[in-house]
Structure 1
Amino acid sequence: MPEKMQFTKARIAALEPVPGKRITVYDLEQKGLCIRVTPAGAKAFYCVRKVEGKVEWVRIGDAAAVTIETARNTTAKIVNDIAAGTNPAEQKRIRKAEMTFSDLFAEWVKECKAKGKKSLGNDERNYRLHLQGIAKKKLSDIERQHIRTLHRKIGTASGIYQANRVLALTRAVFNFGIKALDIPGLTNPAAGLKMHREESRDRRLHPDEMPKFFEALAAEENPDMRDYVMLSLLTGARRSNVQAMHWQEIHLERRTWTIPGSKAKAKDNITVPLTTAAIEVLQARAEANGAQGWVFPGAGKTGHLVEPKKGWQRLLQRAGIEDLRLHDLRRSLASFQIDAGVSLAVIGKGLGHHSQQTTAVYARLAQDPVADAWQKGTDAILVAAGVKKTAEVVPMKKLPGHRKSAIS
């Protein structure tokens, strides 16, 4: 086996492997270029040079895929780079160790969990659904144009609101890498990219929609879905809080549901009044399933109900209602309360809103007017649904499709 030879396609093809030994043959034409043959017969081109007293092997590629001419040109460039003070092998090692976006996102998630970030579940879902295209890319390979194109694509496929949330998430993850991890040379390709213009959403269930909405709800065969939607409407709570409602948070005698600060967006406990209709739904669930653990248990890793998208779409189709989201139920209760003459301050306290302008007002409010406001709001909903007359107290058992509760 020659140690050196003029590389040709035929001569390289004629190189035979040696059992138990990797052999190296150098090119007579290009200094530093060699080919290595493994005992299994694999052949690859390398550039071999001494850099700062250390022999560095820079792999160029498989001999079956890289031409001799390309191998020589690449070797010549590496030799010139070394002469100029650059170590290609070291750069390759740094490159190999560089974080991918997936690596950075995992570190960001750890930080968010430690800080108790409330919307982390949504962020992880957006990453899983929309950011897999850049997940395995090295951070230095992710360019501004990649993020701009992704933002535009999501806007077309999933809507401008979703696209903006993903852009904001990407920006936050890169900022974390820059500010918290101090990754050398890292820049934020999402910084400064313009969000899609969002219109303030004011969708609610209108009085004329209530009868068909309640009819569709009464026809729903899944009792968890019926009760979940009803309690979302009657409490005005955020959908994530209703999904994770726990019996330890419910006090039926006091007619209250206390959402702990660990689950609340503003990190303060929220006391939600339970109206007569809400109490009846909960009592029916307690009788049917017991009052232990989650109010809406689920088979997933959370242990409780998660976003029931299919059930919600089924309900809307049955009711013939369009462009209504689960979160709009929260806005619907507040709208009916306003229509009933309830003050914004009272509504804000029950909904758990938190701002510098209104916090002092909420703190001075007693719970009685808040509970009264929730009763007025749910009464107005039931009147609009056609199952109750104004100022008339009608048991929930008289609602259409009732068994143990209005939607059981």
Structure 2
Amino acid sequence: MPRISKRIIATLQPAEKDYIVWDDQVAGFALRVWPSGRMSYVVHYRANGRFRRYTIGHHGPWTADKARDEAIKILARVKDGNDPNTERDEERASPTVSQFCKIFIERHVKTHLKQTTQGEYQRAIDLFITKKIGSRKLASVTHSDIVTFHHTYRHIPYQANRTLGVLSKMFSLAILWGVRTDNVNPCRGVKRYKEQKRERYLTTEEHQRLGKALDDARSAMPEAVNAFQLLLLTGCRLREIQRLKWEYVFLDEGVIRLPDSKNGARTVQLGESAVGLLKSIPMIAGNPYVITGRKDGGHLTDLEKPWRRIRKEAGLVDVRIHDLRHSFASDALELGEDLIMIGKLLGHRDLKSTARYAHLKKEPIQRAVKEIDLKIFTALVSGDSKSNV
């Protein structure tokens, strides 16, 4: 048996029937020559008590050396107890990632997740997953593929990690539902990026600048301004205000009753300013939402664009919409409220979520330092005066 090489292949001629030329380097690796003159690289192996033949590919697109390396990999899989032909059949029958995403959304996302979480999953699927790996067969996606996918979005670490979480859940269910039969979740072991937790909140002076910018923008974007003011005055999450319906608002009681917030139903207490703001917002016939959008019967969906304009006018370009919620918590802390009360105001499920807001502004810290400094210095001066008497 010769070593299959370019020189040997050049001497081969077609016959009336196909025939096999075995390689003397890798047992089971061979070249199949067809009567038409076409040649295919194959590897023979035994699996589950049967002899099997696996076609690697045609000569031309595949070279002898490249096909031999592939044969070595295939035989290694056989040694580990796998059947490459069965794996190939399953991969061919496997849905693409995009196709399985639709199954995942119908069977899991829409059935078991809250509406807000559904939106987050849909966004990750539409903007990241299907765009990058949507055409891939679900069964063919490897750990290396996921590492590369995650690395692609390293410039947005928070979103990269959230999308990785969606993918991991999707592959876990693909295994559970029998769609991916290798029982391997390719997301397992992918190291998540470190996320920098920010402590950004508004000072009194920044609140004043933001207030002026909001007033100046009211005529151009009244719905957006109303939304931002409600966020400032209630400490609510963005989606809670975006999707706020009039049926949830009870102005005579001074409360908003949200039937399905992030942590379930909750009641938001309103101050006089928030009540006054809500009273000033007109109800639109046929639209159930407080913050109405351009589409009939819909709510305002994009607040990022108006926020970028407003924060630029206020000179607060580093402030995100969610930082308004941070500021609400920080102001409550500065006014003497404890973490338990702040957690109730924010609708947190447990104290761990509230603990991240337990930071103080520089203003009270500096004030406390000055008071302590004055007290100690006064005592020292007083003691020194007495010793000189």
Tell me the TM-score normalized by structure 2.
Answer: 0.67
1:283 equivalenced with 2:279 (yes/no): yes
Deviation per residue, 1:328-369 (Å, 9 max, x gap): 11111111111112232222212211128899xxxxxxxxxx
Equivalent residues, number: 320
Tell me, yes or no, if the aligned pair for 1:98 and 1:138 is still in contact at 8 Å.
yes
Letter in 2 for 1:143: T
Tell me, yes or no, if the aligned pair for 2:20 and 2:32 is still in contact at 8 Å.
no
Name the CA shift for 1:339/1:223 in 2 (closer, same or farther; >3 Å): same
1:115 equivalenced with 2:112 (yes/no): yes
What SS does the aligned partner of 2:165 have? helix
Matches within 5 A, 1:343-354: 343-354=338-349
Tell me, yes or no, if the aligned pair for 1:251 and 1:257 is still in contact at 8 Å.
yes
Tell me, yes or no, if the aligned pair for 2:19 and 2:32 is still in contact at 8 Å.
no
1:97 equivalenced with 2:96 (yes/no): no
* Cross-structure match for 2:369: none
Tell me, yes or no, if the aligned pair for 2:230 and 2:241 is still in contact at 8 Å.
yes
Name the CA shift for 1:33/1:204 in 2 (closer, same or farther; >3 Å): same
Name the CA shift for 1:115/1:29 in 2 (closer, same or farther; >3 Å): closer
Tell me, yes or no, if the aligned pair for 1:270 and 1:350 is still in contact at 8 Å.
no
Matches within 5 A, 1:67-106: 92-106=88-102
1:270 equivalenced with 2:256 (yes/no): no
Match of 1:335 among 317, 330, 335: 330
Matches within 5 A, 1:4-403: 92-110=88-106, 111-117=108-114, 118-131=116-129, 132-155=131-154, 157-158=155-156, 160-181=157-178, 183-220=180-217, 221-261=220-260, 264-267=261-264, 269-286=265-282, 289=284, 293-299=288-294, 303-355=298-350
Q: Percent identical across equivalent pairs?
A: 27
Tell me, yes or no, if the aligned pair for 2:308 and 2:317 is still in contact at 8 Å.
no
Gaps of 5+ in 2: 1-9, 11-15, 22-30, 42-52, 76-81, 355-389
Structure of greater relative contact order (alpha carbons < 8 Å, 6+ residues apart): 1
Letter in 2 for 1:236: G
* Cross-structure match for 2:386: none
Deviation per residue, 1:13-50 (Å, 9 max, x gap): xxxxxxxxxxxx976999986699xxxxxxx9999xxx
Structure 1 stretch 240-249 or stretch 146-155: which is displaced more? 146-155
Tell me, yes or no, if the aligned pair for 1:204 and 1:328 is still in contact at 8 Å.
yes
Letter in 2 for 1:337: A
Gaps of 5+ in 1: 1-7, 9-24, 37-43, 48-55, 360-408
Q: State the distance in 2 between where 1:151 and 1:209 align.
A: 37
1:259 Cα shift?
A: 0.5
Letter in 2 for 1:277: S
What SS does the aligned partner of 1:219 have? helix
Deviation per residue, 1:225-265 (Å, 9 max, x gap): 1001111111111101111000110111111110103xx11
CA RMSD of aligned residues (A): 4.4
Tell me the TM-score normalized by structure 1.
Answer: 0.64
